[in-house]
């Protein structure tokens, strides 16, 4: 570990990620007329993640939407219809909207994987044809 200040950019990046994630949830419910306070957003999103990410099969894939809808409905008094629509929009904003950008930078990431000879897994070969995994 050494010097924690060395990783300040990573901490700042994660802070920005979580603020963006919470803002997406707030905006998704606000779009349908329900404005939550920031503490309600933090508690509902955190509760939904705690109950699905670690305890559910496949890391809670898909169950997060169900748990988050119920958490918004019961925990933040969001009407059920708005909670359902808000969580659907939240999923679009956080999963589907960034995919085109991710696909756009995929060639760059593959090139970085090919150029990085000093990474862990040196000497690894794959038969799948993925150049980023071959060192």
pLDDT tens for residues 3-15? 767 888 888 999 9
Q: Where residue 30 falls among pLDDT bands split at 50, 70, 90?
A: very high
Q: Where residue 26 falls among pLDDT bands split at 50, 70, 90?
A: very high
With 0-12 / 13-18 / 19 or more C-beta atoms within 10 angstroms meaning exposed / middle / buried, residue 132 is middle
What is the four-CA torsion angle of 50, 54, 60, 64, rounded to 10 degrees?
Answer: 0
pLDDT tens for residues 81-109? 999 999 999 988 888 888 899 899 999 98
Residue 53 to residue 60: CA distance in whole angstroms: 5
pTM for the full model?
0.70
Average pLDDT, integer, range 19-37: 94
What is the four-CA torsion angle of 13, 19, 22, 24, rounded to 10 degrees?
Answer: -80
Of 9-13, 43-47, 127-131, minimum mean pLDDT range: 127-131
């Amino acid at each position: 570990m050494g010097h924690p200040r060395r990783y300040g950019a990573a901490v700042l990046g994660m802070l920005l990620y979580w603020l963006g994630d919470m803002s997406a949830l707030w905006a998704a419910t606000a779009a349908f007329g329900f404005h939550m306070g920031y503490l309600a957003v933090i508690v509902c999103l955190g509760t939904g993640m705690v109950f699905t990410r670690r305890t559910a099969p496949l890391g809670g894939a898909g169950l997060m939407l169900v748990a988050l809808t119920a958490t918004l409905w019961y925990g933040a008094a969001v009407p059920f219809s708005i909670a359902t629509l808000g969580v659907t929009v939240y999923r679009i904003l956080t999963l589907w909207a960034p995919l085109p950008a991710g696909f756009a930078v995929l060639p760059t990431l593959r090139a970085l994987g090919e150029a990085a000879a000093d990474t862990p897994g040196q000497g690894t070969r794959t038969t799948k044809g993925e150049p980023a995994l071959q060192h």
